[in-house]
């Protein structure tokens, strides 16, 4: 079993946040994906399953205890992501 340190969260700006910090149900757009140095394979993997700039994304739910994992809808697909993975995805409000 391989353990990975949690990535340092991206610093939110006034218009961007991470998917891990998004409000449940809010319509968001993917801004960027930034994989941590400890897990560079996460970047291509997240892009392969649809997390590319401009793609609509919605946080559907958080687990009851600790909020991990997250249920995320991207396009017509629904995924469970760990908070550490969702913290790699910068999002902004859909207009």
Residue 62's φ and ψ, nearest 5 degrees, are -120, 150
| Domains along the sequence of the chain with CATH | 16-93 (2.30.30.90)
Please list the helix, strand and coil fractions of the chain in percent, rounded to the nearest 5, in that order. Answer: 15, 35, 50
Confidence of residue 11 (pLDDT cuts 50, 70, 90): very low
Confidence of residue 42 (pLDDT cuts 50, 70, 90): very high
Whether this model's pTM surpasses 0.85: no
């Amino acid at each position: 079993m391989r353990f990975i340190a949690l990535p340092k969260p991206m610093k939110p700006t006034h218009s961007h946040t991470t998917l891990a910090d998004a409000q449940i149900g809010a319509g968001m757009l993917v801004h960027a994906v930034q994989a941590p140095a400890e897990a560079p394979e996460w970047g291509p993997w997240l892009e392969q399953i649809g997390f590319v700039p401009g793609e609509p994304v919605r946080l559907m739910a958080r687990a009851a205890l600790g909020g991990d994992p997250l249920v995320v809808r991207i396009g017509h697909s629904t995924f469970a992501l760990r908070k550490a993975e969702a913290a790699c995805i910068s999002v902004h409000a859909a207009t």
